Chain A
Amino acid sequence: MGRGSLSLLAGSAIVIVMVLAAALAPLLAPHPPLAHDLPNRLRPPWGFAAGDARHLLGTDDFGRDLLSRLLHGARYSLLVGFLSMGIALLGGGVLGAAAGFAGRLADVVLMRAVDVMLAFPAILLAIIIVALLGPSLGHAMLAVGVVGIPHVARLTRATVMAELARDYVLAARAAGAGAPRVLLRGILPNIAGPLAVQASLTFASAIVEAAGLSFLGLGAQPPLPEWGAMLNAGRPLLFRAWWVITFPGLAILLAGLAFNLLGDGLRDLLDPAGRR
């Protein structure tokens, strides 16, 4: 059993657990995620002094159960990762494929546009998108997705171009297959591997980046239990209640880790020679 399959196993195991946690959050969560309970505010995790078995991970400053919030938060974080990845992949994929395919002029124009996007300070772009549309989780998702587009576009273009030069493509074109047909039948299956890897890595960074935006107050708005927003809310409590900032941080770390492992594992699986 190679290292790749170990990463794959570990990564997918954590991902499955997280997906299950998100799906079953209403059943698993011991408390409603938004219910205030001021007498029980800032209760430490179970096992610490003044801890309470009814609040395994403790409570925040409104007395809300952290475990329940984290479980519900998994829904938002996974959704953010998924949709941001979708935007980046779709936008970047279309741009990149078009550039790789559609001839010299289109290539130059599209890649120049991608260069501009890359040169534009990414975090500023994200912040301005959110400033334009107003702070909300959806807009943060959009911003993170848009920022990811140029990277995916470059990768797709490079892969498409490499494939285009291959014999089977040349043969298909010589046989009169139209561009869309070649793209769908010939190339897509061949570049699906690298794209899948890119997808899981984009997923990972999207979760961390969206959490970063929430952390700046530009993403999810309270009382939504998104992990980045929870981390942000826990910031002033660092010395008073370490658990309020530690557990959301761990959750983000774990999610990023899981999808990174998944991506690495996929890469090794699809490319046994370990090329890249």
Chain B
Amino acid sequence: MPVWPALVAVAALALLSAHLLGVSAAQTTPRSDSAGAEIPRRGGTLIYGRGGDSVNLDPAHAIDGESLKIADNVFDTLVRYRLGTTELEPALATSWEVSKDGLAYTFHLRRGVTFHDGTPFDADAVIFSLARQLDPRHPFHKVGGRYLYWDAMRMADIVERLEALDPYRVRITLKQPEAPFLANLGMNFAAIVSPAAARRYGETFSSHPVGTGPFIFERWRKDDRIELRANPSYWEGRPYLDRLIFRSIPDNSVRYLELRGGAIHIMEFPNPDDLPLIERDRSLQLLSQPGMNVGYLALNTRRPPFDNPLVRRAVNHAINKEALVQVVFGGRAQPAVNPLPPVIWGYHDGIAAYAYDPARARRLLAEAGLPNGFPAALWAMTVPRPYMPDGLKAAEAIRADLSQVGVTARIVTYEWGTYLAKTRNGEHDMALLGWTGDNGDPDNFLAVLFEATSNANIAFYQNAELQDLLQRAKRSTAQTVREGLYRRAQEIIHGDAPWVPLAHAVQVLPMRRNVQGFVLEPTGKRRLHRTWLR
């Protein structure tokens, strides 16, 4: 009888290994790479494979990445990020003026735009879309629950008043000057929704989104797929694709197989170790772009011995970021020097990283009075995040590095919600975490992560000079001034070393070779209105 398991074992091994050969054999169909300008072809259905389903299709209620991808294609904002960048350009507003005191923003709206339900886009729609979030007495303020992103961005502390000056002019008045405000308006929560549709669907608008965007929402099969079709009267011209379908395929390996087989055109979140296979496959292409994110190890400056900058610097010298990037990110990340990623303006490229140097780390520890090292808890998250695909693996690598300099780290994990809550309470010695940028403004990293009052400052790092710099940078509207302030801020942070900045994950997106015109964006947006199929 025990013959059977042996048979199964051998079969499994043989199958799997033969499968690998199959992979390498399939890579030998050469096809020339077309470079030059080609005329985009119209038509076709693009199927976009992703790991999870959307949660909420109302752009003001959505806060998860999977929901925002739909909003990217169904809705427009007043201003938007130029494709593939964080620079602002006109969208539903054709132009705008800012008053001298930096408080009043006047937007001139695009004319002749209609929503997918045929109703016209005008100042009322803009006021409706934003006032429902701002005004607690607005009839739609409670519809669909809290406006999560509006709350998270503290917009209620920024915006004073919304006014329609005429059908095509809107004025937004702020409570105090706020340099990143315009960039915030490019985010999904500020998208303009059809008031008529919002009234008609009420609570169910979250599953019947109606905007002005390049694609029209058609149907949503929960946990299976969301289908969109081209908006023939899009104000920027009809998109090339006829249809755009987002499918949920939760297992990474299966999603990759679907891409290889051609059943989907684009796949998200490949396993890092599958990337070499994808690169060798001539029917596929791999788009990649430095990400607007940072994964870091926060050192709790309230707890000894991490209240000593010498110890924090020692830890910085002890961790081998290059190896970490190889093991955890499959090489698809830049080792970090600063908390700010290099793709954001204001990045300080003159700062030299703490070199990987265990001997020096040991010397610094000895200098701090800890020649034999010390024990400490190393907290790690158990869920994959965009800035860190596998927190536990990172923790294992860091633990091994720290043991080389005498620091014995004990890995501690909690369920994700508890992890966030407990790290914000400062219950950790060292904790892994990260941040993904929203709008391309340095304030969105440095103020969020290091303001003394921000609860995302889980290093509990306090520096009076830094606080002052961050406040001044927020109020100033001159970019050159702000840039100088942020560079100085990065120098201070580097010297005090409240973190070990670990890596900036590179975003990679494997797709079929015939997908053309798609551009990766630092904001993580997935806009497919210029994408076509060859």
Contact = CB atoms under 8 A, between A and B. Distances in A.
Contacts of A83: none
A70 to B, nearest CB: 13
Contact of A236 (B12, B253, B276, B327): B253
Contact of A239 (B8, B256, B382, B415): B256
Nearest to A136: B413
Contacts of B382: 135, 217
B30 interface: no
Interface in A185-237: 217, 221-223, 235-237
A238 to B, nearest CB: 5
A236 B277 CA distance: 13
Contacts of A253: 5, 8-9
Interface residues of B, number: 34
B253 to A, nearest CB: 5
B252 interface: yes
Interface in A227-271: 235-242, 246, 249-250, 253-254, 257, 261
B238 interface: no
Contact of A222 (B256, B393, B400): B393
Given A38-B323, A62-B327, A131-B415, A236 B396 contact: no
B468 interface: no
A250 B1 contact: no
A179 B273 CA distance: 63
B374 interface: no
Given A222-B393, A222-B396, A246 B16 contact: yes
A221 B392 contact: yes
B414 interface: yes
Interface in A94-153: 131, 134-135
B203 interface: no
Interface in A154-180: none
Contacts of A61: 273, 327, 393
B1 A10 contact: yes
Nearest to B390: A236
Contact of A135 (B12, B393, B415): B415
B327 A38 contact: yes
Given A135-B382, A135-B415, A253-B5, A239 B274 contact: yes
Contacts of A222: 392-393, 396, 411
B20 interface: yes
A36 interface: yes
Given A236-B252, A239-B253, A250 B12 contact: yes
A222 B382 CA distance: 10
Interface in B1-22: 1-2, 5, 8-9, 12-13, 16-17, 19-20
Nearest to A61: B327
A16 interface: no
Given A239-B20, A253-B8, A223 B396 contact: yes
A62 B12 contact: no
Contacts of B373: none
Given A10-B1, A135-B415, A238 B253 contact: yes
B16 A134 contact: no
A68 interface: no
B176 interface: no
Nearest to B401: A36
Nearest to B253: A238
A238 B274 CA distance: 9
Given A6-B1, A36-B400, A222-B396, A239 B277 contact: yes
Contacts of A217: 382
Contacts of B8: 253
Contact of B413 (A14, A135, A261): A135
Interface in B386-419: 392-393, 396-397, 400, 411, 413-415
B20 A236 contact: no
A91 to B, nearest CB: 26
A134 B1 contact: no
Interface string B311-355: 000000000000100110000000000000000000000000000
Interface string B245-283: 000000011001000000000000001111011000000
A221 B5 contact: no
Nearest to A265: B1
Contacts of A84: none
B179 to A, nearest CB: 41
A61 B271 CA distance: 13
A184 B256 CA distance: 59
B23 interface: yes
Contacts of B326: 38
Interface string A4-31: 0011001000100000000000000000
Contacts of A14: 2
Contacts of A246: 12-13, 16
B415 A236 contact: no
Interface in B91-105: none
A15 to B, nearest CB: 12
A239 B23 contact: yes
Contacts of B256: 239
Contacts of B273: 42, 61, 236-237, 239-241
Across the A-B interface, the 3 shortest Cβ-Cβ residue pairs: A236-B271, A240-B273, A242-B16
Interface of A: 6-7, 10, 14, 36, 38, 41-42, 48, 61-62, 131, 134-135, 217, 221-223, 235-242, 246, 249-250, 253-254, 257, 261
Given A62-B397, A246-B16, 15 more contacts: A14-B2, A36-B396, A36-B397, A38-B326, A62-B327, A62-B396, A134-B414, A135-B382, A238-B271, A239-B19, A239-B253, A241-B273, A242-B19, A246-B12, A253-B9
19 contacts: A36-B396, A38-B327, A41-B327, A61-B327, A131-B415, A134-B413, A222-B393, A236-B274, A239-B19, A239-B253, A239-B273, A240-B271, A240-B273, A240-B276, A242-B17, A250-B9, A253-B8, A257-B2, A257-B5
